[in-house]
Amino acid sequence: MIKIAPSILAANLLNIEDEVISVDKAGANYIHIDVMDGHFVPNFSFGYNIVKSIRLITKKTLDVHLMISPVDQYLEAFANAGSDIITVHAEAGAHLDRSLQVIRGLGKKAGVSLNPSTPTDVVQYVLDKVDLILVMTVNPGFGGQSFIESQVDKVSTLRKMIGDRPIELEVDGGINPKTAALVTGAGANVLVAGSAVFNSGKYKKAIEALRQGASS
């Protein structure tokens, strides 16, 4: 099943409670929360308090993407705030294996994200500790960027590496009905979409369009 994870980075932040409730009711599977530190990526966004607040208004899976470095010292705070999946960047620290162990030790699903220039082999020896792999199809830090088509091959390579392991393969960046077809055709099963959902004004219709595009 294709899962849709609206990214609240593109939501109306003056009305965030209603925005989250709206995409929840519109059929979102996950709520994707981008956390940026202005250091690892050139932008700032949410902290663990926003995760804690969103946890109070939805039972949907909170898919928390940490674009921060260093990251290990913040994992417990994001776990305690109510994250269900905590994804760290392979590039954000020297000890990816350790970070993934910590996340799982906190009782959460562990994800690893790869920037566009990052090769797939960085996850080769941690697949036994990963629940989700996130392929960035834009350079992280800002919403509304154009899809990088070279990442479709990366998705395909990772799908082969995953094999029959119960690991979800997620994509984030420039996702719309057209690009959804490309990445799901290559093996992705979770689509992060910000502008395509929140700029539409009709969230249920936008989510359905993504699912239809993914199945075409």
CA dihedral 134, 31, 66, 94 (to 10 degrees): -40
- CB within 8 A of 208, min separation 6: which ones? 27
For 41, half-sphere exposure in the C-beta direction (CA atoms, 13 angstrom radius) is: 23
Pick the catalytic residue from 24, 34, 84, 131: 34
Q: Is 96 helix (H, G, I), strand (E, B) or coil?
A: helix
Ramachandran category for residue 66: left, alpha or beta (phi over 0 → left; psi -120 to 50 → alpha):
beta
* Catalytic status, residue 97: no
The C-alpha atoms of residue 55 and residue 29 are separated, in whole angstroms, by 14
Positive/negative CA dihedral, 130, 65, 214, 211: positive
* Catalytic status, residue 34: yes
Pick the catalytic residue from 24, 37, 131, 172: 172
Active site residues: 34, 172
